[in-house]
Structure 1
Amino acid sequence: MSVWTDKSSNLLVDGAPVPGSGGRFDIADPATEEVLGTAANATAADVDRAIGAARRAFDETDWSRDVELRVHCLKQLSEALQARAEELRELTIAEVGAPRFLTHGAQLDAPIADLAYFADLAADYEWTRDLGVAEPMGVRSRRWTRREPVGVVGAITPWNFPHQINLAKLGPALAAGNTVVLKPAPDTPWCAAAVGEVLLEETDIPPGVVNIVTSDDHSVGAQLSADDRVDLVSFTGSTDTGRAVMAAAAPGIKRTFLELGGKSAFVVLDDADLGAACGLAAFTVCTHAGQGCALTTRLLVPRSRYDDAVEATAEAMRGIGVGDPNDPGTVCGPLISARQRGRVEGYLSLAREEGGEFVTGGGRAERDRGFFVEPTLIAGLDNDARVAREEVFGPVLVIIPHDGDDDAVRIANDSPYGLSGAVHGQDLDRARAVASRIRTGTISVNGGVWYGADAPFGGYKQSGNGREMGIAGFEEYLETKLIAEPG
């Protein structure tokens, strides 16, 4: 277990570690159900102070104007987190239940390295652009644009990939010159608090620029959304909560970036290597126990090859199984909590009621403790079933037959979501053509990996608005000012 977990976590407000006014709340290990320790519990008063600190830091310091300082501080943070990576790795496995192998990618190492990308982007960014001389309405004028930070950012993040999502908001928001109040999910407060501790001890980020408020009170997020001192809310989580964030922000016409749910389709064309494609689909949905908004959870296969696809996918999922997240070979660890396990079990019961067949899995894994659910393949349902339309957030895959490329595209697009997807086929041009017709923010063709600091991520439809990561994600945190003077 991490040395860090033996410490008492604090809030980070105005450049100082402070206790939560609401006392402390317990943190459990999802693999063992044991209480690891406690986290500081922020109240509305604590959040009010954090917002005030962020507002002052934006309005009264040079942070928003000093690009060189921001670049320096982000590189400091990236290097300091890298130096503490092994400690953070053990913390992440314990608190998140994240499989160890995944911490060497998107759960830890990749997002830490991504901070340097945003530092370099800020250093090289074209903050002003000369539009030249024109004569609008006969007045000779020179005009240019200037990109400026939005102001105070309220960042509300979920528990499934805490480091990736926390740093994907902090990195570009800070690089752009904003100040931030970060509210992490109550299931994973330590991951955020540990970053705050490193930031406080090992960087030159001025007081108030980053404030971190951990709390088991979900209304804290609503407070960030509604407060007029907050200029932008960046939220990642469920679509239902995203609607609430948008509604709370609406009276102030507050800018919102929303990265929400998904029910992404993995399309297998009739010329694909069926075994390889189905094996990858099984691996994907089992990764981190299916707790990823962009994971593909509907497997669309040619009707003529349906039985073979069911068998190949079920065999792959049985081979993956569940395991201790500390084991380097584990792909499918525990769900985050008893509540989440109950939610997944509710969908399994619903699938049975709707006429689905559990080809493999269908219930809790046979383990003495921990919030584990078996990798589950459901056959016999069409795309109208609720388990095929709603986000389960567990290792649950619905396999659906299609009758050719047009039908596969129709089924893939018949969803309120549009976050991610995949297409597999031997004919690359054909696979690309199918991918181009699927309305989704990211899509993989034949196993291509779309994740990266330089790659924009986000969705269509009810999967959200705006983009995270890449230049597009950086520019979510910027305003555009047009300046004109006599030419």
Structure 2
Amino acid sequence: MRASTSMAAGDHPGHHLSVILREPLGVTGVITPWNYPLLMAAWKLAPVLAAGDTLVDPADHPEVRRTRRRSPAARRVNVVNGYGAIAGARLAEHPDVDMIALTCSVASGRAVARAAAGSLKRVHLELGGKAPAAIFPDADPAAAASALRVAGLWNSGQECGAACRVLAHDSIAEEFVERLAGEVRTLAVGEPRAGEDVEVGPMAPRAHFDRVTGCLERAEAEGVPVATGGGAPDGPGYFVAPTVPVDVPEGAEVAREEIFGPVITVETFTDEEEAVRRADDVPLGRSASVRTENARRAHAVAARLDSGTVRVNSHLVLASEVPWGGFKGSGYGRDLSAYALDDYARTEHVMHNHER
């Protein structure tokens, strides 16, 4: 389909009318993750269809397949039933697919980018995160702990933008850790259908449960203390106790690698320079936050943090009017807002010589 729309026009250069057309890319392969299968599908579906593209999705989530079959745009939405990794790999390498859009882990993003390189198709990557939350001495430790209880452990910590890595100024670190540990201990862990008070459910697949608990076991072996939690509670299921490792040394695995579970690490810093350096000293850059009452500091630090989204005195607040995406190993795609349309469309320049 070639539903071109004139976006801009003018004489560039003189006597030559330049018209910029925004066109659909064509066929877009979409791969969505298991942590938010329906939501992430919607984030991709909307801009793909708005740009005029068609979509092919290797969905292996029944609720997503049912929803898309009822969509009024079903003729432009094709769901490939089957195991996502196998179908997704075929989409990434297929020469008739014009673009591949992925929200998943960093490892999956690398694999898809390698497969897509053979046909030089466009790639949209929304990958993992290791979001730092810097808390300065003028911030309220109690308010910060209460907010991070949710922002760090929402969806059992299976959230790429979660505030999973706290950097607390050493003058308030002791009070903050005490308050955060107290907040985390109030979380009810259990099977999601066990009652409305349950806030933390199990890890999704067994392999991920093993990954999270393995990371905590290695941190314990390295001597990293915990203020609360520490691993899997007794009983059946893939549950991990909400855990707060503290006094985490610089460069520790638990503070650098994405855990994607109910874990919030706490490190300390002494000044603004150290806070920025340590916050950025990770290979990922999905999101970050700054807590301070100093407006100048808030603006300066936020601008220096190498993350696609930086929030001041909040964390994990989303709005569909602004873009969501990361830097560095977190990828380079943008979801939400009008900026997402740029990923799923192409521009063509048409020039007319009208000199007489």
TM-score w.r.t. length of structure 1: 0.70
Within the candidate set 132, 135, 145, 1:278 is matched to 145
Higher helix share: 1
- Of the three residues 30, 44, 51, the one matched with 1:176 is 51
Structure 1: stretches of 5+ with no match in the other structure: 1-57, 59-63, 67-126
> Counterpart of 2:290?
423
2-structure distance, mates of 1:194, 1:267: 42
Match of 2:69 among 197, 203, 211: 197
SS of 1:329 mapped into structure 2? coil
Provide the secondary structure at the position in 2 that maps to 1:357: coil
Contact 2:137 2:292 in 1 (8 A): yes
Q: What is the identity, as a one-letter code, of the residue corresponding to 2:70?
A: V
Structure 2 vs 1, CA of residues 128 and 235 (structure 1 numbering), >3 Å: closer, same or farther?
A: same
Which string of whole-angstrom CA distances, capped at 9 and with x for unpartnered residues, describes residues 415-451 of structure 1?
Answer: 1011001111122332222111111001111126641
Please name the residue that 2:96 is paired with.
229
Mapping 1:60-139, distance limit 5 Å: 65=3, 127-135=5-13
Match of 1:468 in 2: 335
For 1:365 and 1:328, locate their aligned partners in 2 and report how far apart those are by CA, in whole Å.
20
Shift of 1:274: 0.7
Label 1:128 to 1:386 Cα distance change in 2 as closer, same or farther (>3 A). same
1:395 matched residue in structure 2 = 262
| Separation (CA, whole Å) in 2 of partners of 1:481 and 1:446 | 42
Q: In terms of mean alpha carbon deviation, does 214-223 or 470-479 score higher?
A: 214-223
Closer, same or farther: CA 135–458 of 1 in aligned 2, 3 Å: closer
Secondary structure at 2:349 match in 1:
strand
Give the deviation of 1:142 after TM superposition. Answer: 1.1
Retained in 2: the 8 A contact 1:322–1:365? no
Residue 352 of structure 1 is matched in structure 2 by 220
Distance 2:315 2:247 in 1: 29
SS at match of 1:463: coil
Which digits, 9 at most, give the CA deviation of each residue in 1:224-271, with x for residues without a partner? 000000000001111111111111111211100000111110110010
- 1:295-334 matches, cutoff 5 A: 295-326=162-193, 327-334=195-202
- The question of whether the paired residues in 1 share the 8 Å contact of 2:201 and 2:239 is answered with yes
Change beyond 3 A, Cα 1:130–1:279: closer
Deviates more, 1:278-287 or 1:221-230: 278-287
Aligned to 1:98: none
Residue number in structure 1 paired with 2:22: 147
The answer to whether the 8 A contact 2:30-2:56 is kept is yes
Question: Conserved in 2, the CA contact under 8 Å of 1:192 and 1:212?
Answer: no
8 Å contact 1:283–1:317 — kept in the other structure? no
Alpha-carbon distance between aligned partners in 2 of 1:331 and 1:470, rounded to the nearest angstrom: 29
Q: After TM superposition, list the pairs within 5 Å mapping 1:29-40 onto structure 2.
A: none
Q: CA deviation at 1:206?
A: 5.8
Given candidates 120, 123, 127, the residue that maps to 1:256 is 123
Report the equivalent of 1:381: 248
C-alpha change, 1:317 and 1:146, in structure 2 (3 Å) is same
Letter paired with 1:128:
S
Deviations 1:76-125 (A, max 9, x none): xxxxxxxxxxxxxxxxxxxxxxxxxxxxxxxxxxxxxxxxxxxxxxxxxx
Counterpart in the other structure of 1:4: none
CA contact (8 A) 1:360 1:377 kept: yes
Query: 1:486 Cα deviation (Å)?
Result: 2.4
Is the CA contact 2:226–2:243 (under 8 Å) kept in the aligned structure 1?
yes
Distance 1:190 1:451 in 2: 26
Q: For 2:38, give the aligned amino acid.
A: H
State how far apart, in whole Å, the 1-side matches of 2:339 and 2:144 are. 31
CA change 1:412–1:403 in 2 (3 A) is same
1:246 aligns to 2:113 (yes or no): yes
Task: Write the mapping of 1:400-411 to structure 2, written as runs, cut at 5 A.
Answer: 400-411=267-278
Note if contact 1:321-1:375 (Cα within 8 Å) is conserved in structure 2: no
* Residue of structure 2 aligned with 1:220, choices 87, 90, 112: 87
Q: Percent identity?
A: 35
Spell out, residue by residue over 1:119-171, the C-alpha distance to the aligned partner (whole angstroms, 9 max, x if none).
xxxxxxxx3134322446xxx22111010011100001101111221011111
Output the CA distance in 1 between the equivalents of 2:118 and 2:183. Answer: 50
Give 1:391's aligned amino acid: E
Greater CA drift, 212-221 or 249-258: 212-221
What SS does structure 2 have at the residue aligned with 1:292?
Answer: coil
Does 1:159 find its partner at 2:159?
A: no
After TM superposition, give the deviation of residue 324 of structure 1 in Å.
Answer: 3.6
Q: Are 1:358 and 1:378, in contact at CA under 8 Å, matched by a contact in 2? A: yes
Cα distance change, pair 466–217 in 1 and its aligned pair in 2 (3 A): closer
Q: In 2, are the aligned partners of 1:283 and 1:320 still within 8 Å (CA)?
A: no
Q: Is the partner of 2:218 in helix, strand or coil?
A: helix
Q: Distance in 2 between matches of 1:340 and 1:475?
A: 33
Code of the aligned partner of 1:336: A
Q: Deviations over 1:159-195 (max 9, x none)?
A: 11112210111110011100000123x4xx1131121
The two structures have a TM-score, normalised by structure 2, of: 0.94
Is the CA contact 1:321–1:374 (under 8 Å) kept in the aligned structure 2? no
Contact 2:227-2:243 at 8 Å conserved across structures: yes
